[in-house]
């Protein structure tokens, strides 16, 4: 006797009696199914703007490298990457980063998945993470190693 | 208690209300536990922690929900469908050995055996009766397929985020549904559901639960099939 539970909330236009009840139940089932699809679809929503934000940060890093501006490049590195770079060289990030050793170029492709992004420039592959303060570069100067992770000059 | 519940809405809908409430409680618990687990992983991998609202709208939460939903609906779809053709001697989950198949119109009250109070689509005949005759299995199968699809979409997002965090290339949807990650998530759920159903069918031959429709009456012989108490 399910229809008793939904009595009073039946949308106008549905006939009274068993057939109307069946149609109403059918609509509710359909609504449940849509919920399931939304569950999966939620993952794919709203990536357009975030792609352009990640792309802009990758572009800023690449431009800084091309112009030899280590300070500007360090400003868009993730704190962990910048700290690791400074620790490995024993000098501040600005002095540890060597722009002349890193490839640069315009960003040609960006893929955003969750809070991570991969950007490709003419000569480089960059990996980014989205933090509270926005997108930051985690690794740069990356070379593919087949099935294994990229080997990166910075953040590898 | 019995007197209090007699004739009430809650008593008439005890199964759906009880399981609905437990489902929501478990889902809320999963949201909190999942957020804590996710934020711990974020800390380790150099990401930012998320709020509860951000977590319940994330792919991580969606894949964990959807992968369990798909296996449960597959389980019930297979159970509804398989019990038409497969029987288990002595089990209250099975029908008698001589009734294998979709059975006669007379037994199913379809065609000219439809009664005054039969559902409208049974009295209508034709395609409506054909669809209604399979509606339980169809709806279970459709929800299974939608949940499985949702798992593949949200799982792809989670998997690719992990790949990028590990400095690897993301994969396509087709690459993901052919990956070990997808099938590991899928099959570990399927095997447990199939084991639970199969073992219930066998255990209910020899074991009893007094008052449960999933069990035979306590004093019924082990050999008796299709009787619940």
Q: What integer pLDDT is reported at residue A20 of this predicted model?
A: 47
Please indicate, yes or no, whether residues A64 and A127 belong to a single structural domain of this protein: yes
Q: Which two tokens stand for residue A79?
A: 């704190």
Domain count, chain A: 2
Please indicate, yes or no, whether residues A128 and A66 belong to a single structural domain of this protein: yes
> Can you tell me the mean pLDDT for B177-194?
96
Task: Determine contact: B70 vs chain A, CB below 8 A.
Answer: no
> Can you tell me the mean pLDDT for B117-136?
96
A 10 A CB-CB count for B176 gives 20
pLDDT class of B229 with cuts at 50, 70, 90: low
> Can you tell me the mean pLDDT for A32-36?
51
Q: Which two tokens stand for residue A23?
A: 């149609």
Mutation site for A-interface testing, chosen from B16, B44, B47 by largest number of A Cβ within 10 Å: B47
Cα separation, B143 vs B135, whole angstroms: 12
Q: What integer pLDDT is reported at residue A37 of this predicted model?
A: 52
**Nearest residue on chain B to A131, alpha-carbon basis:** B48
Q: What integer pLDDT is reported at residue A6 of this predicted model?
A: 31
Per-domain residue ranges for chain B?
1-57, 59-101+136-229
Cα separation, B41 vs B47, whole angstroms: 8
Indicate the residue of B46, B139, B156 with minimum beta-carbon distance to A138.
B46
A-B CB pairs within 8 A amount to 107
End-to-end CA distance of chain B: 21
Can you list the alpha helix ranges (DSSP code H) found in chain A?
2-6, 18-41, 47-66, 70-75, 79-89, 93-96
> Can you tell me the mean pLDDT for A67-82?
96
The pLDDT tens digits for B48-59 are: 999 999 999 999
Indicate the residue of A18, A42, A142 with minimum beta-carbon distance to B62.
A42
Tell me what the pLDDT averaged over chain B comes to: 94
Q: What integer pLDDT is reported at residue A13 of this predicted model?
A: 47
Please indicate, yes or no, whether residues A22 and A78 belong to a single structural domain of this protein: no
Query: Is pLDDT of A28 > 80?
Result: no
Contacts of B152 in chain A (CB under 8 A): 40
Q: What integer pLDDT is reported at residue B49 of this predicted model?
A: 95
> Can you tell me the mean pLDDT for B113-128?
95
- Choice between A115 and A156, residue whose per-residue pLDDT is larger: A115
ipTM of model: 0.80
Q: What integer pLDDT is reported at residue A5 of this predicted model?
A: 33
DSSP A42: G
Mutation site for A-interface testing, chosen from B142, B144, B164 by largest number of A Cβ within 10 Å: B164
Please indicate, yes or no, whether residues A135 and A65 belong to a single structural domain of this protein: yes
Query: Is pLDDT of A33 > 80?
Result: no
Coil, helix or strand at residue A24: helix
Contacts of B142 in chain A (CB under 8 A): 33
Query: Is pLDDT of B220 > 50?
Result: yes
Q: What integer pLDDT is reported at residue B46 of this predicted model?
A: 87
Please indicate, yes or no, whether residues A63 and A105 belong to a single structural domain of this protein: yes
A36/B157 touch (CB, cutoff 8 Å), yes or no:
no
Q: Which two tokens stand for residue B181?
A: 């990650």
CATH code for the domain in which residue A105 is found: 3.10.450
Angle at A140 between CA A134 and CA A141, to 5 degrees: 160
Contacts of B15 in chain A (CB under 8 A): none
What DSSP element (H or E) covers A140?
Answer: strand A134-145
Query: Is pLDDT of A44 > 90?
Result: no
The answer to whether the CB of B159 falls within 8 A of the CB of B179 is: yes
Indicate the residue of A19, A36, A115 with minimum beta-carbon distance to B120.
A19
- Phi then psi for residue A153, to 5 deg, are -65, -40
Please indicate, yes or no, whether residues A28 and A96 belong to a single structural domain of this protein: no
Task: Determine contact: B59 vs chain A, CB below 8 A.
Answer: yes
Angle at A122 between CA A151 and CA A46, to 5 degrees: 85
Considering only CA atoms, give the Rg of chain B: 23
| Minimum mean pLDDT range among A10-19, B9-18, B42-51, B179-188 | A10-19
Task: Determine contact: B62 vs chain A, CB below 8 A.
Answer: yes
3-state secondary structure chain B: CHHHHCCCHHHHCHHHHHHHHHHHHHHHHHHHHHHHHHHHHHHHHCCCCCCHHHHHCCHHHHHHHHHHHHHHHHHHHHHHHHHHHCCCCCCCCCCCHHHCCCCCHHHHCCHHHCCCCCCHHHHHCHHHHHHHCCHHHHHHHHHHHHHHHHHHHHHHHHHHHHHHHCCCCCCCHHHHHCCHHHHHHHHHHHHHHHHHHHHHHHHHHHCCCCCCCCCCCCCCCCCCCCCCC
Please indicate, yes or no, whether residues A60 and A36 belong to a single structural domain of this protein: no
pLDDT class of B148 with cuts at 50, 70, 90: very high
Please indicate, yes or no, whether residues A30 and A63 belong to a single structural domain of this protein: no
**Nearest residue on chain B to A148, alpha-carbon basis:** B168
The proportion of chain A whose per-residue pLDDT surpasses 70, expressed as a percent, equals 70
The proportion of chain B whose per-residue pLDDT surpasses 70, expressed as a percent, equals 95
**Nearest residue on chain B to A147, alpha-carbon basis:** B168
Q: What integer pLDDT is reported at residue A104 of this predicted model?
A: 87
Question: Which residues lie across from A145 on neighbouring strands?
Answer: A148
The pLDDT tens digits for A139-152 are: 999 999 999 999 99
Q: What integer pLDDT is reported at residue B59 of this predicted model?
A: 96
Q: What integer pLDDT is reported at residue A16 of this predicted model?
A: 46
Please indicate, yes or no, whether residues A91 and A58 belong to a single structural domain of this protein: yes
Please indicate, yes or no, whether residues A90 and A72 belong to a single structural domain of this protein: yes
Range of the domain at A84: 48-154
Please indicate, yes or no, whether residues A35 and A57 belong to a single structural domain of this protein: no
Please indicate, yes or no, whether residues A135 and A93 belong to a single structural domain of this protein: yes
Indicate the residue of B48, B160, B168 with minimum beta-carbon distance to A132.
B48
Q: Which two tokens stand for residue B58?
A: 């994330």
């Amino acid at each position: 006797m399910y229809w008793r539970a939904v009595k009073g909330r039946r949308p106008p236009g549905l006939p009274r009696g068993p057939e109307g009840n069946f149609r109403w139940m059918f609509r509710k089932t359909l609504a449940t199914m849509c919920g399931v699809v939304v569950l999966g679809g939620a993952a794919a929503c709203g990536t357009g703007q975030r792609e352009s934000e990640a792309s802009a940060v990758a572009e800023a890093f690449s431009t800084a490298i091309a112009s030899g501006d280590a300070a500007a490049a360090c400003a868009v590195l993730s704190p962990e990457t910048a700290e690791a770079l400074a620790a490995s060289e024993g000098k501040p990030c600005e002095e540890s980063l060597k722009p002349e050793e890193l490839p640069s170029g315009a960003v040609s492709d960006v893929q955003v998945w969750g809070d991570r992004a991969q950007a490709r420039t003419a000569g480089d592959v960059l990996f980014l993470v989205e933090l509270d303060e926005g997108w930051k570069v985690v690794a740069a100067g990356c070379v593919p190693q087949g099935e294994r992770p990229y080997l990166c000059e910075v953040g590898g | 208690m019995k007197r209090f519940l007699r004739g009430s809405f809650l008593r008439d809908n005890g199964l759906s209300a009880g399981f609905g409430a437990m489902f929501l409680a478990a889902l809320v618990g999963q949201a909190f536990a999942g957020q804590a687990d996710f934020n711990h992983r974020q800390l380790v991998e150099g990401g930012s922690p998320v709020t509860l609202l951000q977590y319940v709208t994330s792919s991580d939460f969606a894949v964990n929900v959807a992968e369990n939903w798909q296996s449960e609906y597959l389980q019930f779809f297979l159970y509804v469908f398989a019990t038409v053709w497969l029987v288990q001697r002595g089990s209250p989950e099975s029908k008698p050995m001589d009734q294998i198949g979709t059975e006669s119109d007379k037994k199913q009250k379809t065609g000219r055996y439809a009664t005054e109070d039969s559902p409208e689509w049974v009295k209508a005949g034709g395609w409506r009766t054909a669809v209604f005759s399979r509606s339980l299995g169809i709806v279970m199968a459709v929800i299974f397929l939608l949940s499985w699809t949702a798992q593949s979409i949200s799982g792809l997002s989670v998997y690719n985020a992990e790949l990028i965090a590990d400095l690897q290339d993301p994969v396509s949807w087709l690459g993901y549904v052919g990956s070990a990650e997808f099938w590991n998530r899928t099959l570990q759920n399927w095997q447990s559901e199939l084991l639970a159903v199969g073992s219930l069918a066998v255990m209910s031959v020899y074991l009893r639960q007094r008052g449960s429709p999933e069990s035979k009456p306590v004093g019924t012989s082990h050999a008796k099939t299709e009787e619940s108490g």
